[in-house]
Structure formats: C-alpha cells, structure tokens
A = this chain, B = another copy of it.
C-alpha cells in the first residue's frame, strides 16, 4: 500500500465531465489499495473570472479579501469531486485550507506555507477516506484565508505530500512531462524521464511552466518525489527527484528560452565605489526584480552597466534608471525589449568543463551574437536578439546531443 498525493490542474477539472474523469483515475488508485489525497485547482478560467469580478468591485482589490474570493474556486472543485466519488460509493471528504491545517504566513496573494497540521487528513485516510483537498489556499495564524499565488496548488500538493510522508506526489497536468525543450519550438524535444530538483528549479525559474517554482523548492527541501504526468493519458511522465548516479550521464538536460525580459544599459557610469547601490537600491525599493547584471569597465575610468528585468517591470525600471542616470552623471540610458534569454541546464556541468565553449561555438556557427552571459553551477544563460530565439534553441538542443533518444 502506497500513499499517493495526486494534484490536478485547472484544465483537468475544467467541467463536470473532466472532474468525473479525475474521479475515474482517483478510484483506480484507491481500488489498487493505495491511500489517495487529491489536491485540486479551480476550474480553468475561474480564477481569472473571479479576479475580473474583484476588479469590478475595486480598481485595486484589497488583498485579504481577494484571497477570500479566490479561495472559492478550489472550494468548488473539491466539493464537486468529493460528491462524485461519494455518489459512486467511495468514502471521500473535502478539506479546505483551514480544515487541512495548511498554515501560512500573512502575505496575502503569495503566502508561504509555514507548517501543516495534517492530523485531520491523516485520520480521514486511516478511516478509509479519499481526502480531497482544495489547493492554493491556507490560513494564517489569525485564521485569515490566504492563497499561495499562481500555480500554488502544486505547492499545496508537495507540502501535504511531505507532511504525510507520501510515497509520491503526482502532478497531473495538460502536458505529459518535462521536456528537454519546448516541443512547439523544437520538434526533436524529448520527454525527460528523470530530472533532479536543482535542474527542475532552474527550468522553472527560466519559464518552463510545468511546476510552480516554490513547489520544486519545497520538494527539494523535504525530498518529496514528484511525478509530473498527463491527466489525459496513462503514460509515465517525468520523475523529479534527488540527484542520482544515472542522471549524470547527460551533461545538459534541457534548453530553455525566456522571451519575457528586457534590457536596460546605463552608458558611461562613473566607476566609483557605491555607484551600484545608487542604481539598484531604488529598483529594489520599487520591488523590481533584476535578473542578470553585467558591468564592462572601460579604459577611460567609466563603466557600462547592463541589467535585465521582466517586461512587466520594464517601464517602471526605465523611468527609475533615467532618474538615477541623471543623478550619478551617466551619459545615457539604452534599452532593448527584443531580447531572448536562452539557457542550457544540466547537473553534468558540475563535473564537465567546456560546456560554455560548446554553447558559444554553437551560437556562433549560426551567426547569433551573444549580448549578455550569466551562469550558475548548473546553468549557462545567454541573452540574444529575440528573432534568433527559436534557431538558438534548436541549435543548442542538437549541439548537446538532446535530439537523439539515449
């Protein structure tokens, strides 16, 4: 007997028929003798509808109350699935955040799970119930309803799996696993059968939307085996697990492409101590996340400073940068929004040298100019002009031998 947590996303519960299909899958696992905890998102589109209702009520809806409103989406699907299971003769019970003991901090709209008191869910399982949990929600220590941010149901699932010491956390979604790259860009993309938490984390950060970033952090921290798979077929998907020996054969596991950044360059910044703080301080204060930062010192004692931000933050970042540029005496501010960040990710980089060289050569062979470079222990990212993005992805996918089946 295994304890399985199964999470189903919005498209998997989009209407009563699909929720019935979810019930089919859940009961199949239960009939095999497994204990099953189901974590549900809201029906596809419902969260957006609720947000638009809130915007009708208030231009800038109060965050606490928005969470109360949004929480109804998952409450609805959880109740409906429990009803269907019970009408088929199964013991089932829905749990909202406060009932499942999901305790979060007080950050409305992007709360973090602090701890889980899973006694009630555990008891329900021990009594033979299928536990159906509303994802995405919890309560803070004062009993206020909170939500975990977009994709938060992934985190709910991993967290309850960790708390219950589940054997696996299955994330059912509308794709059938994690791919070496986006199959819409590169037809040679392959499904990855096993990937490490760290690689998955880099991929999630870089915009692979299969899993919420926090859910991967959580899974890594508590060593929860996560199985990403399709809710529309029976295929095995991708196991996201701890680094293991058989993973290391691949130097690079995946190639990603993020089109959602923009570049800002401050030209001829006086090269003095404290000048960086003058630039990035005001950006941090405005809650703008800066991604890459590159500084080129020139021979004339001045420096060019380039950084990237998301396109959402771009306009505000540019205004702040222009104000700062005047103050510190930089020559001008240049910007570029037509950029793409292509990255290669792989645990193998830790032990293989020359990965960067292969990447730069591959891009050069297609005459793709690299504008910015940044690296982590298991990732190399290059900013290029966005018109080359697809070509770059396909080129790198081939260069690192990802096209062939292993």
Taking CB atoms and an 8 Å cut-off, the chain A residues in 61-117 that contact chain B are 61-62, 64-66, 68-69, 71-72, 75-76, 78-80, 82-84, 86-87, 93-94, 96, 98-99
Question: Which residues on the B side are within 8 Å of A86 (C-beta)?
Answer: 58, 62, 65
Question: Which residues on the B side are within 8 Å of A50 (C-beta)?
Answer: 76
Do A16 and B60 form a contact, CB below 8 Å, given A76-B69, A79-B66, A83-B65? Answer: no
Do A68 and B78 form a contact, CB below 8 Å, given A96-B145, A120-B143? Answer: yes
State how many angstroms separate the Cβ of A53 from the closest Cβ of chain B.
7
- Encoded as 1 (CB less than 8 Å from any B CB) or 0, chain A from 41 to 57 comes to 00000000010011011
Residue of B65, B84, B94, B143 touching A82 (CB-CB under 8 A): B65
Query: Considering the chains assembled together, what is the distance between the CA atoms of A58 and B60 in angstroms?
Result: 38
A19 within 8 A of B: yes
A235 within 8 A of B: no
Taken together, the copies of this chain in the complex come to 2
A59 within 8 A of B: yes
Closest chain B residue to A20, Cβ basis: B57
Q: Is the interface of A mostly helix, strand, loop or mixed?
A: helix
Contact between chains at A94 and B68 (CB < 8 Å):
yes
Contact between chains at B80 and A75 (CB < 8 Å):
no
Contact between chains at A58 and B72 (CB < 8 Å):
no
Query: Considering the chains assembled together, what is the distance between the CA atoms of A72 and B143 in angstroms?
Result: 17
Taking CB atoms and an 8 Å cut-off, the chain A residues in 138-161 that contact chain B are 143-145
Contact between chains at A79 and B83 (CB < 8 Å):
no
State how many angstroms separate the Cβ of A75 from the closest Cβ of chain B.
5
State how many angstroms separate the Cβ of A316 from the closest Cβ of chain B.
22
Query: Considering the chains assembled together, what is the distance between the CA atoms of A87 and B58 in angstroms?
Result: 6
Query: Considering the chains assembled together, what is the distance between the CA atoms of A147 and B58 in angstroms?
Result: 29
State how many angstroms separate the Cβ of A161 from the closest Cβ of chain B.
22
Contact between chains at B65 and A79 (CB < 8 Å):
yes
Contact between chains at B69 and A80 (CB < 8 Å):
yes
State how many angstroms separate the Cβ of A52 from the closest Cβ of chain B.
11
Question: Which residues on the B side are within 8 Å of A56 (C-beta)?
Answer: 16
Contact between chains at B53 and A65 (CB < 8 Å):
no
Contact between chains at B94 and A80 (CB < 8 Å):
no
Closest chain B residue to A23, Cβ basis: B57
Query: Considering the chains assembled together, what is the distance between the CA atoms of A403 and B82 in angstroms?
Result: 55
Most buried by B among A53, A68, A84: A68
Query: Considering the chains assembled together, what is the distance between the CA atoms of A184 and B251 in angstroms?
Result: 82
Closest chain B residue to A75, Cβ basis: B72
Query: Considering the chains assembled together, what is the distance between the CA atoms of A205 and B76 in angstroms?
Result: 33
Query: Considering the chains assembled together, what is the distance between the CA atoms of A87 and B69 in angstroms?
Result: 15
Contact between chains at B72 and A84 (CB < 8 Å):
no
Do A83 and B71 form a contact, CB below 8 Å, given A64-B93, A143-B99? Answer: no
Q: Nearest 6 CB-CB pairs, A to B?
A: A58-B87, A69-B79, A72-B72, A68-B79, A62-B86, A65-B82
Interface CB pairs A-B, < 8 A, 6: A20-B57, A58-B84, A59-B87, A64-B94, A65-B86, A66-B83
